[in-house]
Chains A and B, each alone.
Chain A
């Protein structure tokens, strides 16, 4: 009888794990992936979805089985067995979730590091420059009102910021109820974000009034844009196309309408866009 129980348990556990992995890897709940972060995100999602399916299905099966198998029969007024606990069982169901949670934590930390989320954000020479450029590009009145001390440099906050090399800097200004994108390379200002495929983009973001958030679901990235605290967000587009840019932080009555697009161009198309929109070229 004990052997039968052990075999049944092992079979059930195997079936559960197989189901979880099948569902987690085969069922796609996510939109198309269009940045290097999205690939890392999706592998984390698959792992969490698999583990979640196993847990939920396991508990659902035990619950429904108990309700059917141990239902009170008509006329049975007796109590169940006076089982008050079981220490080995308690240890098992403390230890297994602890190990699973620890694994998830370490794995997601690894993913986050791969995205560049753990990169230090201390101010260095480059940041001084970057923020000075943001300051210059955003309305001067607003930055004075914020009252930052330019001489000592300012701190950049949060976000994902890993990438060295040929980074395309874009200054993002968020206000009620629009995003404005300014390209220091070429002095272009645009209501839409245009980026070339494969080149890392660094968004340096400021808010003029209330908190907004920059979100592109296909990039799996979001960063609050905070008045008084410049934030940064880096990504590398990996799929050409047009994707929505959505404000994700309640910012007022027209919050739901605060949307624009990000267009990921093939590199040649991007150059054409820059040339068509650069004020320096149109003037000469």
Chain B
């Protein structure tokens, strides 16, 4: 091991660059914990923005007529909603926020491998996000062609908004690549001497797999968006059929990133859940080795399934067959993970607190979304429901019911680590109940709407669909209300919450083996060597105090 910790490399730079107190969260801090919380708060801000946009969509769809906003505004709103939620909320938070905060602890390092790159990666996000939002006000019109930006539509909608959208997504993609390079280097090269790969907490494996996907697929998205911008600015003809271009090639290149993007959003969530469940059920993570292999299988399969988004695009029959089979098989490693989580709960001593409620909500929602995903993988099934509300329902079960539920679970689990105070459990349970009911009311009816004839991305629809659309809109309203107990909880608890102590959950993973919040160097002494991050029940006789919380030699 020849890599020095960043602190050793830059002994005099680390400290002076960090202002004291809350100001450091608005600085170009190199501390991975500060950067992680910067990602989290920035992401949550954009979650509220994306949520307002979702509210506008559900308000428009509360009635069958297009009567709430102009039709082109509606297309701007749905484009911004998708882009903001994916690129500014979910990807930065499950990767950037929790990854930066936790990974150095998990590998026993004092910071990420490239702290400056890390800060650059974060500071690309706020300007890119503000650029994207401001296109609605400054460029005359925001992008109107959906988050997929399919040409030729994206070549014919107002050009300025589309160009700003491309620029913003390129910046966010660049930030994501910088982050991924950093995670790969940190996990592989910055591990504490003596710590083996197969002893790492599962979130490290999830982030390693996710970062490989980011590095392999995001450059393809950057490439195709640059070509699209040439078509718009310089009137080249890559994707313009009038100039001999091919519109389906765009779809192939776009989905080569954007399908793995789903795994970039859910694999880290899988990792976070794998950390939360063992702690609150007081049992080791079931099937560690198969969990690692199933992550890597999902990474591999995730790269070869992209054309299942294009079953109605005129793809040749052999290609439909291949992508149906490949997509269906993702169910196998994904299923392994869910069975292992259930086996982790089985026979444990489960504390059903807010973190666990959201984790179990995640399991139910994701299983549901996974089952509808298997149906969508079947070509003949997909031909009917492609581009309908069935798909909208499906992917919200994956990205909201799956990933966002895990983000909330993680917040309740690690908030004491971030602040030294526990979030209020009553408000947390209220938050869960409202979110769970609102979410299912909002998105479950959409499956029926899609099966029966409601296409996605429409501002108006057949009046026979109005009842279930109203149910869906009420669900969205409950989801909006559910944000209030969370906001109150976070703000009030930060000031007056119950002090948590260093390790309120008696957890064994390394981030809990230091003070809460941790010092700049993460540990006052040497980093502990944790070879059994899930060693619950192995050091009986009982009692939380008997856990090996002191650094092992």
Residues of B close to A30: CB separation below 8 A:
451-452
Interface positions of B from 305 to 334, Cβ below 8 Å from A? 312-317, 320-321, 324-325, 328-329, 331-332
Give the shortest distance, in Å, between B314 (CB) and chain A (any CB). 3
Residues of B close to A52: CB separation below 8 A:
371-372, 374-375
Q: Is B457's CB within 8 Å of the partner chain A? A: yes
Would B145 and A105 count as touching, CB distance under 8 A?
Answer: no
Assembled-state Cα–Cα distance A73/B379 (Å): 49
Q: Is B388's CB within 8 Å of the partner chain A? A: yes
Q: Which DSSP category, helix, strand, loop or mixed, fits chain A's interface? A: mixed
Would B284 and A82 count as touching, CB distance under 8 A?
Answer: yes
Q: Is B551's CB within 8 Å of the partner chain A? A: no
Q: Is B455's CB within 8 Å of the partner chain A? A: yes
Q: Is B348's CB within 8 Å of the partner chain A? A: yes
Would B317 and A121 count as touching, CB distance under 8 A?
Answer: yes
Residues of A close to B157: CB separation below 8 A:
252
Would A247 and B349 count as touching, CB distance under 8 A?
Answer: no
Would A83 and B347 count as touching, CB distance under 8 A?
Answer: yes
Would A41 and B283 count as touching, CB distance under 8 A?
Answer: no
Would B451 and A56 count as touching, CB distance under 8 A?
Answer: no
Q: Is A251's CB within 8 Å of the partner chain B? A: yes
Question: Per a CB cutoff under 8 Å, which of B285, B328, B346 touches A101?
Answer: B328
Q: When each residue 46-77 of chain A gets 1 if its CB lies under 8 Å from chain B and 0 otherwise, what string results?
A: 00100010011001101100110011110011
Would B384 and A146 count as touching, CB distance under 8 A?
Answer: no
Say which one of B262-270, B286-294, B415-423 lies at the interface with A. B286-294
Q: Is A136's CB within 8 Å of the partner chain B? A: no
Give the shortest distance, in Å, between A239 (CB) and chain B (any CB). 15
Q: Is B153's CB within 8 Å of the partner chain A? A: yes
Of residues A44, A59, A115, which shows the largest number of chain B Cβ atoms within 10 Å of its Cβ? A59
Give the shortest distance, in Å, between B358 (CB) and chain A (any CB). 13
Give the shortest distance, in Å, between A251 (CB) and chain B (any CB). 6
Residues of A close to B534: CB separation below 8 A:
84
Would A215 and B455 count as touching, CB distance under 8 A?
Answer: yes
Give the shortest distance, in Å, between B373 (CB) and chain A (any CB). 10
Residues of B close to A202: CB separation below 8 A:
none
Would B287 and A101 count as touching, CB distance under 8 A?
Answer: no
* Residue ID in chain B nearest A221 by CB atoms: B383
User: Are A247 and B455 CB-contacts (below 8 A) given A70-B349, A80-B349?
Assistant: yes
Interface positions of A from 17 to 61, Cβ below 8 Å from B? 29-31, 40-41, 44-45, 48, 52, 55-56, 59-60
Residues of A close to B285: CB separation below 8 A:
84
Q: When each residue 108-121 of chain A gets 1 if its CB lies under 8 Å from chain B and 0 otherwise, what string results?
A: 11011001011111
Q: Is B430's CB within 8 Å of the partner chain A? A: no
Residues of B close to A223: CB separation below 8 A:
312, 314, 383
Give the shortest distance, in Å, between B406 (CB) and chain A (any CB). 16
Would A244 and B537 count as touching, CB distance under 8 A?
Answer: no
Give the shortest distance, in Å, between A93 (CB) and chain B (any CB). 4
Give the shortest distance, in Å, between A121 (CB) and chain B (any CB). 7
Would B368 and A56 count as touching, CB distance under 8 A?
Answer: yes
Question: Per a CB cutoff under 8 Å, which of B144, B387, B542 touches A222?
Answer: B387
Would A209 and B314 count as touching, CB distance under 8 A?
Answer: no
Interface positions of B from 339 to 382, Cβ below 8 Å from A? 339-340, 342-343, 345-352, 360, 363-364, 367-368, 371-372, 374-375, 378-381
Give the shortest distance, in Å, between A80 (CB) and chain B (any CB). 4
Residues of B close to A210: CB separation below 8 A:
150, 152-153, 156
Q: When each residue 131-171 of chain A gets 1 if its CB lies under 8 Å from chain B and 0 otherwise, what string results?
A: 00000000000000111000000000111100000000000
Question: Per a CB cutoff under 8 Å, which of A41, A80, A228, A249 touches B347?
Answer: A80
Would A77 and B542 count as touching, CB distance under 8 A?
Answer: yes
Residues of A close to B459: CB separation below 8 A:
256
Would B381 and A217 count as touching, CB distance under 8 A?
Answer: no
Would A79 and B313 count as touching, CB distance under 8 A?
Answer: no
Q: Is A220's CB within 8 Å of the partner chain B? A: yes
Would B540 and A29 count as touching, CB distance under 8 A?
Answer: no
Would A59 and B452 count as touching, CB distance under 8 A?
Answer: no
Would A115 and B460 count as touching, CB distance under 8 A?
Answer: no
Question: Per a CB cutoff under 8 Å, which of B75, B335, B536 touches A79?
Answer: B536
* Residue ID in chain B nearest A247 by CB atoms: B455
Q: Is B535's CB within 8 Å of the partner chain A? A: yes
Would A77 and B384 count as touching, CB distance under 8 A?
Answer: no
Give the shortest distance, in Å, between B480 (CB) and chain A (any CB). 24
Assembled-state Cα–Cα distance A145/B348 (Å): 68
Tell me the number of A-to-B contacts counted with CB atoms below 8 Å: 293
Q: Is A15's CB within 8 Å of the partner chain B? A: no
User: Are A66 and B342 CB-contacts (below 8 A) given A79-B542, A81-B347, A248-B455?
Assistant: yes
Question: Per a CB cutoff under 8 Å, which of A83, A97, A246 touches B455?
Answer: A246
Residues of A close to B342: CB separation below 8 A:
59, 62-63, 66
Of residues B144, B317, B452, which shows the largest number of chain A Cβ atoms within 10 Å of its Cβ? B317
* Residue ID in chain A nearest B344 by CB atoms: A83
Question: Per a CB cutoff under 8 Å, which of A56, A66, A98, A217 touches B453?
Answer: A217
Give the shortest distance, in Å, between A50 (CB) and chain B (any CB). 11
Would A250 and B75 count as touching, CB distance under 8 A?
Answer: yes
* Residue ID in chain A nearest B315 by CB atoms: A158
Residues of B close to A211: CB separation below 8 A:
150, 152-153, 247
Interface positions of B from 223 to 237, Cβ below 8 Å from A? none
Of residues A40, A48, A102, A105, which shows the largest number of chain B Cβ atoms within 10 Å of its Cβ? A105
Question: Per a CB cutoff under 8 Å, which of A63, A251, A255 touches B364?
Answer: A63
Q: Is A231's CB within 8 Å of the partner chain B? A: yes
Would B460 and A256 count as touching, CB distance under 8 A?
Answer: yes
Assembled-state Cα–Cα distance A227/B150 (Å): 12
Assembled-state Cα–Cα distance A82/B540 (Å): 10
Q: Is B462's CB within 8 Å of the partner chain A? A: yes
Q: Is B461's CB within 8 Å of the partner chain A? A: yes
* Residue ID in chain A nearest B538 by CB atoms: A82
Assembled-state Cα–Cα distance A279/B388 (Å): 37
Residues of B close to A78: CB separation below 8 A:
282, 349, 537, 540, 542-543
Question: Per a CB cutoff under 8 Å, which of B153, B283, B316, B317 touches A252?
Answer: B153
Give the shortest distance, in Å, between B384 (CB) and chain A (any CB). 4
Would B350 and A71 count as touching, CB distance under 8 A?
Answer: yes
Q: Is B1's CB within 8 Å of the partner chain A? A: no
Q: Is B160's CB within 8 Å of the partner chain A? A: no
Assembled-state Cα–Cα distance A199/B91 (Å): 51
Would B312 and A222 count as touching, CB distance under 8 A?
Answer: yes
Would A229 and B288 count as touching, CB distance under 8 A?
Answer: no
Q: Is B196's CB within 8 Å of the partner chain A? A: no
User: Are A80 and B283 CB-contacts (below 8 A) given A104-B374, A229-B248?
Assistant: yes
Assembled-state Cα–Cα distance A73/B363 (Å): 23
Question: Per a CB cutoff under 8 Å, which of B243, B368, B378, B461 touches A48?
Answer: B378
* Subset of 5 A-B contacts with CB under 8 Å: A81-B537, A90-B336, A108-B381, A117-B379, A224-B314
Q: Which residues of B contact A (CB under 8 A)?
A: 66, 70-72, 74-75, 144-146, 150, 152-153, 156-157, 241-248, 281-290, 312-317, 320-321, 324-325, 328-329, 331-332, 335-336, 338-340, 342-343, 345-352, 360, 363-364, 367-368, 371-372, 374-375, 378-381, 383-384, 386-388, 447-448, 451-453, 455-462, 534-538, 540, 542-544
Q: What 12 additional pairs, Cβ within 8 angstroms, besides A85-B289, A224-B314, A251-B153? A: A41-B380, A45-B381, A66-B350, A70-B348, A71-B350, A79-B537, A94-B332, A102-B328, A220-B383, A226-B314, A228-B245, A249-B387
Q: Which residues of A contact B (CB under 8 A)?
A: 29-31, 40-41, 44-45, 48, 52, 55-56, 59-60, 62-63, 66-67, 70-73, 76-86, 89-90, 93-94, 97-98, 101-102, 104-105, 108-109, 111-112, 115, 117-121, 145-147, 157-160, 209-211, 213, 215, 217, 220-224, 226-229, 231, 244, 246-257
**Closest 3 A-B residue pairs measured CB to CB?**
A158-B314, A228-B241, A157-B314
